[in-house]
Structure 1
Amino acid sequence: MQLISSADKKEAPQIDLPVQSPQRNARLRGTILLFLLPSAILYIVFVLFPVIQAAYYSLFSWNGLGALTDFVLVKNYGLAFADKVFLRAVGNNLLIVVLSLLVQLPFALMLALVIGKTLPGRAIFRVIFFMPYILSDVVTGVIWQFIYRPDGGLMNTTLQHVIPGFQPQTWLADPKLVLFSIFLVMVWKYFGLHLVLYVAAIQNIPDEVIDAARIDGSSTLQVVRYITIPLLGSIVRLSIFLSILGSLQYFDLIWIMSNGGPVHASETMATYLMKYGFQSFAMGYGSAIGVIMFATCFVFALMYQRVIMRRDLDGSVTG
């Protein structure tokens, strides 16, 4: 074996990068700040300032009309956590989170794996499943109110033809069924969003990786288990993040379909805020509920991004 000395090795060419002057760096920073200024102003006015204002209002017992004179410190927060209705609303939000993680996202992932890259008509499938997402929550709620009607609604009529002896159900008036009925509508509406995310991620997986695995003798299930799903890791984590945040602050569809009832069976933190804050003219108490919602979402988003999604932000792990 012939040994090659270090002197015989070709050294990599040295590239001298131009050194920018302090004046040029200052102009560059000024240009960046100039472009960021409009967004920063909008963020401060419409996001940061309302949050600070709500935190300030939450320290008062205030009806929203008079002056801020009755300072109660954290009494509003104590009243919230002592209210069984609010605690039930929190529990309903958590139930929606669990159902989304156990039903909606796995189902979307499985269907995305079925569609894959080669299924004929996959573009049509994506369009069909994504169409409900473009509807507003108000329109969706009104449509499904007619579907859930106990007398002649599409749901009861269909089940009566499919299941012999089926008795019509009051889907939105039964405390045991209302939250699950609304969750079914949520799946129908937002399922397509997660499906499109997963399908787009599958399209970006290199064919060479799949072909190499098949040449090595991997079965279809092994390819999905050890290659496809790990490479979808970043999108799955993003989908979970969006689903949990949306479930913690969900309002529109529930407010339209059930108004949080019956007997608070479908109450969430957002509908509770609307009822006991705006409609009851208890703005100080409502502000406290809003701060609790904001703190819950903020802490979750911060911890999730630092612990779970940090690998995606750093680019150190792809799966």
Structure 2
Amino acid sequence: MTRPALTDDRRGIAERPPGGVRRPVTPTARRRKAKGLVTITLFLLPALVLFGLLVLAPILIASYTSFFKWNGLGGFPTQFIGLDNYTRLLEDPVFLGDLWRGGLLIVLSVIIQLPLSLGLAMLLNQRMRGRAFYRLLFFAPYVLSEVITGVLFTMILSPDGGLANQILRAIGLSSLESSWLAEPSTVMYSVFIVMTWKYFGFHMILYLAGRQSIPRELNEAAAIDGAGTWAQFRYVTLPLLGPTIRISIFLSIIGTIQLFDLVWVLTAGGPIHSSETMAITMFQFGFKRTNIGYASAISVAMFLISLIFALGYQRFVMRRDTEGAITTMRDAR
């Protein structure tokens, strides 16, 4: 006894006959599809409204005001100056210095901070006593706010009685004592040390999660074939961690481009602009010097730099990862 075929009304979709030609969709199926679209729209509407008010609207307003000379007071801007603010950006030594300092932090993060996080993740993936405690200990700095971290390291790196100089003095390296945050030659490296202490735990957890998703049988098979610990890491673990590493690099670079609060608490951009970032320069012109037009141009430049990097990174670096995700989603459907 064969099972009776479901009708179109019960399945909610058009049945494909043996000839391969779809039958017309019934009114009931159309109503169900319309009802589903309405439900999806109602669920998405609050998020879309918030996204429009908090993301799209500020971008459009900043883009508009960047073509004016405006102090932010007295209603809407009226003194149109065209591209003068953007021309000034290209000639401003402070903004060009912001780009150089941001690039320096990005390079240091990629070659020092992220490998350190990866090494700790591999170490804490091994069986050892107190492994959970060490994971919590290394991740704890990321939980602290940037303001608390900045205040803490302002005291640690203080030239007068700071913990860093006291330790150097205690171990006989008093010649290395410095005014860490007050010297143009050391301030950016001091900021990087604070950044590393604050954020390496986050990347460590990313790598640890990626490592634990790799089947143990692959390393066991490599060990049976005679691969040592380093060979297993190089030829098995590291390639399979590729998607996680690429995501970690992306988040690190985007975060560095937008860096503000940690540096503001530590140095406020000083001394003599030697630790300023694009976000701090934007804040200085927008809220300290009331030059909203120029500050808006800086914000638009930051947005474009982040957008171009994100699109290029996704297109050329994460192409295999995104294509795999899209293929998986298509197969699931």
Q: Same fold (TM over 0.5)?
A: yes
Decide which of 145, 155, 159 is 1:146's aligned counterpart: 155
Sequence identity (%): 46
Q: Deviations over 1:140-171 (max 9, x none)?
A: 11110110111211000101122344253100
Rounded to whole Å, the distance in 1 between the matches of 2:118 and 2:176 is: 34
1:262 maps to 2:286: no
Alignment match, 2:182: 173
Do residues 110 (structure 1) and 119 (structure 2) align?
Answer: yes
Deviation at 1:180?
0.5
Q: Which residue does 2:31 correspond to in 1?
A: 23
**Is the partner of 1:34 in helix, strand or coil?**
helix
Checking the alignment, whether the CA contact within 8 Å between 1:117 and 1:203 is kept in structure 2 is: no
- Please report how far the alpha carbon of residue 222 of structure 1 lies from its aligned counterpart in structure 2 after TM superposition: 0.8
**Matched residues in 1 for 2:42 and 2:36: separation?**
10
Query: In the alignment, residue 30 of structure 1 is paired with which amino acid?
Result: V
Contact between 2:165 and 2:174, CA under 8 Å: does it hold in 1? no
Within the alignment, does 1:300 sit opposite 2:309 as a pair?
Answer: yes
Give the alignment partner of residue 38 of structure 1, picking from 36, 46, 51.
46
CA distance in 2, matches of 1:28, 1:212: 49
Q: 2:168·2:174 contact (CA, 8 Å) conserved in 1?
A: no
Q: Does 1:81 align with 2:90?
A: yes
SS at match of 1:266: coil
The Cα shift of 1:19 comes to 5.1
Q: After superposition, what is the alpha-carbon deviation per residue over 1:175-216, rounded to whole angstroms, capped at 9, x for unaligned?
A: 000111011000000010000111111111111111111111
Deviations 1:15-54 (A, max 9, x none): 9994522222222222112111110110000000110010
Gaps of 5+ in 2: 14-28, 329-333
The alpha-carbon deviation at position 120 of structure 1 amounts to: 3.1
**Other-structure match for 1:7:** none
1:5 alignment partner in structure 2: none
Counterpart of 1:95?
Answer: 104
Residue of structure 2 equivalent to 1:9: none
2:197 to 188, 200, 214: 188
User: Could you say what the CA RMSD is over the residues aligned between the two structures, in angstroms?
Assistant: 1.8
Rounded to whole Å, the distance in 2 between the matches of 1:107 and 1:24 is 54
For residues 29 and 177 of structure 1, the distance between their equivalents in structure 2, rounded to whole angstroms, comes to 58
8 Å CA contact 1:148–1:154 kept in 2: the answer is yes
Within 2, Cα distance between the matches of 1:185 and 1:164?
Answer: 21
Aligned pairs (5 A) from 1:42-81: 42-66=50-74, 67-81=76-90
Change (3 A) 1:129 1:42: same
What number of residue pairs does the alignment pair up?
304
CA shift digits 1:93-138 (9 cap, x unpaired) = 1111111101100111111112224233221111001111111111
SS at match of 1:264: coil
Q: Deviations over 1:34-89 (max 9, x none)?
A: 11111011000000011001000001000000241110111101111111111001
TM-score normalised by the chain length of structure 1: 0.91
Choose 163-172 or 229-238, whichever is displaced more: 163-172
| Residues 214, 240 of structure 2: 8 Å contact kept | yes
**Residue type at the aligned position of 1:54:** A
Aligned AA for 1:242? L
In 1, Cα distance between the equivalents of 2:264 and 2:225?
54
Separation (CA, whole Å) in 2 of partners of 1:24 and 1:178? 63
Superposition map of 1:158-169 within 5 A = 158-169=167-178
**Whole-Å separation in 1 of the counterparts to 2:237 and 2:64:** 49
User: Which residue number in structure 1 is paired with residue 243 of structure 2?
Assistant: 234
- Matching residue's letter, 2:305: T
| Range 304-313 or range 56-65, more displaced | 304-313
SS in 1 for 2:264: helix
Matched, 1:121 2:140: no
User: What is the aligned partner in structure 2 of residue 206 from structure 1?
Assistant: 215
For CA contacts below 8 A with separation 6 or more, give which structure has more relative contact order.
1
The equivalent residue for 2:140 is 131
